[in-house]
A = this chain, B = another copy of it.
């Protein structure tokens, strides 16, 4: 993994991924006690940064591999990003999802042109189903984060942040990034190390699912004890990736852990002050910027708002409990 792969991905994404805006509000500055810049990746195609990695991977396929199609395991944002990227390239994505995934997520993924293959979580082996399908049909597997082309695609978000902060005159600041497996976090860290070395990535995680924060503290990969039960489900993964962790260990500052209540308050503030829709997992970095000011130094902080694919009932709850 290196910056050249990110620059190559940026060229492939140009004109296809959206260059998401940097949003600000004096009300958020007051809460954080410093200027707050929000990179609104929820406004990316399919509602999350995952479209970048999906496009990066699909657009790098050989003509033969592209024609055969791609396959991914996901019930969430990665599925939609890969599905739309594949459809835009005129090929097919097969998405393997648990049969008990929310109906609306299955319908959305199908509506983006994907073939959805359902499996029974209790009785079937997801990986075996995927491997068989891939072998039978010559499909290329696109992993959600531990894949260089995907990390390179997510890293294009960091190239944009470096350019935008340079234009705003912000040379030194922490960059809070909502962190699951570390694809986005490591990609942004690589981009900033090359283009804006005064900007330092800080992985942000929800309480109880802070594998990256603990891994960075111990210096080795640590696992989450639980893998469900978080409203921040979009960024819950078992452990940091084998590719992403060494990059994060090398380039990131310490992790910042926020409570679920803080994530919900950040969702409500993003609604009220920025007019964007965030899912709780996509608001964790903003929560770190707003409610953990002691974790940072300097007169500015950047938060990457990673996604907005949230159930209306969860969103209404965030607004109601945080009013």
Contact = CB atoms under 8 A, between A and B. Distances in A.
A276 B21 contact: no
Given A26-B84, A26-B112, A111-B27, A312 B271 contact: yes
A320 B268 CA distance: 17
A323 B319 contact: no
Interface string A32-70: 000000001011000100000000000000000000000
Contact of A21 (B43, B315, B316): B43
Contact of A316 (B20, B47, B308, B316): B316
Contact of A276 (B276, B312, B316): B276
A59 B183 CA distance: 44
A43 B315 contact: no
A7 interface: no
What's the interface size class on A, roughly? 20 to 34
Copies of this chain in its oligomeric complex: 2
A319 B315 contact: yes
A1 interface: no
Contacts of A23: 18, 43
A275 interface: yes
B275 A308 contact: yes
Query: DSSP class of A's interface residues: helix, strand, loop or mixed?
Result: helix
Interface in A91-128: 111-112
Contacts of A271: 277, 312, 315
Contacts of A30: 111
A240 to B, nearest CB: 27
A275 B315 contact: no
Nearest to A84: B26
A133 interface: no
A165 interface: no
Interface centre among A18, A112, A272 (most CB of B within 10 A): A272
Interface of A: 18, 20-21, 23, 26-27, 30, 40, 42-43, 47, 84, 111-112, 268, 271-272, 274-278, 308, 312, 315-316, 319-320, 323
Given A275-B276, A275-B278, A276-B277, 15 more contacts: A18-B21, A20-B21, A21-B21, A26-B112, A27-B111, A40-B43, A42-B275, A271-B277, A271-B312, A275-B308, A277-B277, A312-B323, A315-B319, A316-B316, A316-B320
